[in-house]
């Protein structure tokens, strides 16, 4: 626990049999996590078998693949049902180090931040960590456009390492979001829409054969989805077009971006 708050780590898993045990060991070594929930999205390897053998891990299985966003919806629902005060998403492919769990969790526990992101860009070592040049360039271009449209100043919107307060997860209309990869982006836009402060910490990331990644074609679709989300946010902000992603009831009474 952190400051008497229950910490739950969620792992959205797909074909992570070769890395989930290593990720689990490093999560447990931080000594702050009360429960680990792994949701398998119809993996074709032994992810479920390996995860089920790990002490204290709750394993949930989608009988059919629901997509990355659909997986996260199940992750957050189960975490809230388990009584989580702080929920941290860690990919079981070991691309992001669990060593940052205490730092990210403590920032949420402080009450100052509704969301904390592990940013690959802040430290300036994304390319050294193996991020492909085309992904780095796309990340920077998308982030610039999104900061303009969303009125924010994040270093990146595309990291999969995230910590949330219970309040944020209960408040956001997550079921309105896509079941695909753009879910991540929609979620951050909703957090900004609701007036919560997002913090970032420098996070090294590894790129290797077992680390999950989407191909170029799906990356292009994701990029257009991100721009579409930011555009919908801006139109709703100006009162020109309503969106179920950004309901009026979520907007803070005063202030906000």
Measure the CA angle with vertex 53, ends 204 and 118; round to 5°.
15
Count: domains in the chain: 1
Is residue 255 in a domain?
no
Look-up: residue for tokens 């990644």? 213
> What is the CATH classification number for the domain harbouring 50?
3.90.550.10
Residue-level pLDDT, tens digit, the chain, 257 residues = 789 999 999 999 999 999 999 999 999 999 999 999 999 999 999 999 999 999 999 999 999 999 999 999 999 999 999 999 999 999 999 999 999 999 999 999 999 999 999 999 988 777 877 788 888 899 999 999 999 999 999 999 999 999 999 999 999 999 999 999 999 999 999 999 999 999 999 998 777 555 556 677 888 999 999 999 999 999 999 999 999 999 999 988 654 44
- Report in angstroms the alpha-carbon separations of 102 from 28, 33, 62: 11, 9, 30
Q: What is the pLDDT of residue 196?
A: 96
CA quadruple 154, 158, 159, 165: dihedral sign = positive
> Nearest-CA neighbor of 176 among 109, 236, 245, 115?
245
Q: Which three-class secondary structure state does DSSP give residue 257?
A: coil
Is residue 2 in a domain?
no
For residues 163 and 88, is the Cβ–Cβ distance under 8 A?
yes
Is residue 74 in a domain?
yes
Lateral strand order in the sheet of 86-89 = 57-61, 35-40, 7-13, 86-89, 162-165, 115-119, 198-202
Q: What is the separation of C-alpha 15 from the centre of its chain, rounded to a whole number of angstroms?
A: 18
For residues 95 and 206, is the Cβ–Cβ distance under 8 A?
yes
Is residue 257 in a domain?
no
The domain of 98 spans 7-250
Q: What is the pLDDT of residue 129?
A: 74
Is residue 1 in a domain?
no
Is residue 256 in a domain?
no
d(CA 162, CA 196): 14
Is residue 111 in a domain?
yes
Q: Check residue 1 and report its DSSP letter.
A: -
Is residue 89 in a domain?
yes
Q: What is the pLDDT of residue 209?
A: 57
Length in residues, the chain:
257
d(CA 23, CA 92): 6
d(CA 213, CA 93): 10
- Report in angstroms the alpha-carbon separations of 197 from 33, 87, 144, 193: 23, 16, 18, 10
């Amino acid at each position: 626990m952190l400051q008497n708050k229950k910490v739950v780590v969620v792992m959205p898993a797909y074909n992570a049999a070769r890395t989930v045990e290593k990720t689990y060991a490093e999560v447990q070594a931080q000594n702050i996590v009360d429960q680990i929930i792994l949701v398998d999205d119809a993996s074709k390897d032994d992810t479920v078998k390996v995860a089920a053998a790990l002490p204290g891990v709750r394993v949930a299985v989608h009988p059919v693949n629901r997509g990355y966003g659909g997986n996260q919806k199940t992750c957050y629902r189960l975490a809230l049902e388990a009584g989580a005060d702080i929920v941290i998403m860690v990919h079981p492919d070991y691309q992001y180090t669990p060593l940052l769990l205490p730092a990210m969790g403590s920032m949420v526990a402080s009450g100052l931040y509704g969301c904390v992101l592990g940013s690959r860009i802040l430290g300036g070592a994304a390319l050294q960590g193996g991020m492909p040049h085309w992904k780095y360039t796309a990340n920077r271009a998308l982030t610039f456009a999104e900061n303009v449209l969303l009125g924010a100043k994040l270093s990146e919107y595309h990291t999969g390492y995230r910590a949330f307060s219970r309040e944020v997860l209960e408040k956001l209309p997550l079921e309105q979001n896509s079941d695909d990869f753009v879910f991540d982006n929609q979620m951050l836009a909703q957090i900004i829409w609701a007036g919560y402060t997002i913090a970032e910490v420098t996070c090294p990331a590894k790129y290797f054969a077992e680390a999950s990644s989407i191909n170029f074609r799906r990356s292009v679709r994701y990029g257009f989805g991100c721009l579409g989300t930011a555009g919908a946010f801006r139109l709703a902000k100006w009162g020109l077009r309503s969106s179920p992603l950004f309901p009026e009831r979520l907007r803070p009474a005063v202030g906000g971006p």
